[in-house]
């Protein structure tokens, strides 16, 4: 059901990223190209990784894109899950849980001590799914992000 992504999966990963952006009500934010994804995942020095969830007949119905994080407090790497998506018609079939289980297995095997991700506060079904697996919200932390003009302004600051 779960396998490492291959370079031939880039078009379907790209399509599912766009589906995810539409689901999250920000389709205009999904600006990554297939070429950018191919380079990030399969270039000379990939720093991003992906897994594909498939049906029994080999149809790709979900993906997880992740990268290594590092905890200065624990002194070891972890995994930051950038995106997890399962197509609507395949939800409830265990694909999301299997993707997370594969990432948890990777953490355990490699001695990583964290598997972290963000979820939109309005996404109650997904929150319930994550909490059902034992994941705990980190209420005391707020995520901040610099992009676009604000990022460029700060980048030019002296």
pLDDT at 158 over 70: no
How many CA atoms are closer than 13 Å to the CA of 63, on its beta-carbon side? 25
Across residues 115-122, what is the average pLDDT? 93
Q: What is the pLDDT of residues 77-110, one digit of tens each?
A: 999 999 999 999 999 999 999 999 999 999 999 9
Residues 1 and 53 sit within 8 Å (Cβ to Cβ): yes
pLDDT at 30 over 80: yes
DSSP tag of 156: H
Report pLDDT for 133: 92
CA 73 to chain centre: 23
List CB contacts of 55: < 8 A, sequence separation 6 or more: 1, 61, 90, 93
Residue 63 backbone phi and psi in degrees, to 5: -155, 160
Catalytic (active-site) positions? 130
């Amino acid at each position: 059901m779960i396998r490492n992504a291959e370079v031939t999966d880039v078009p379907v990963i790209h399509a599912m990223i766009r589906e995810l952006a539409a689901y999250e009500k920000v389709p205009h934010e999904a600006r990554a190209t297939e070429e950018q994804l191919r380079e990030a995942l399969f270039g000379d020095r990939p720093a991003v990784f992906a897994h594909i969830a498939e049906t029994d007949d080999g149809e790709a119905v979900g993906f997880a894109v992740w990268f290594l994080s590092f905890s200065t407090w624990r002194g070891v790497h972890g995994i930051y899950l950038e995106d997890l998506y399962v197509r609507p018609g395949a939800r409830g079939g265990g694909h999301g849980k299997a993707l997370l289980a594969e990432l948890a297995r990777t953490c355990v095997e490699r001695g990583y001590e964290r598997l972290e991700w963000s979820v939109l506060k309005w996404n109650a079904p997904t929150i319930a799914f994550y909490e059902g697996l034992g994941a705990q919200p980190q209420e005391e932390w707020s995520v901040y992000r610099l992009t676009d003009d604000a990022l460029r302004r700060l980048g030019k600051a002296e």
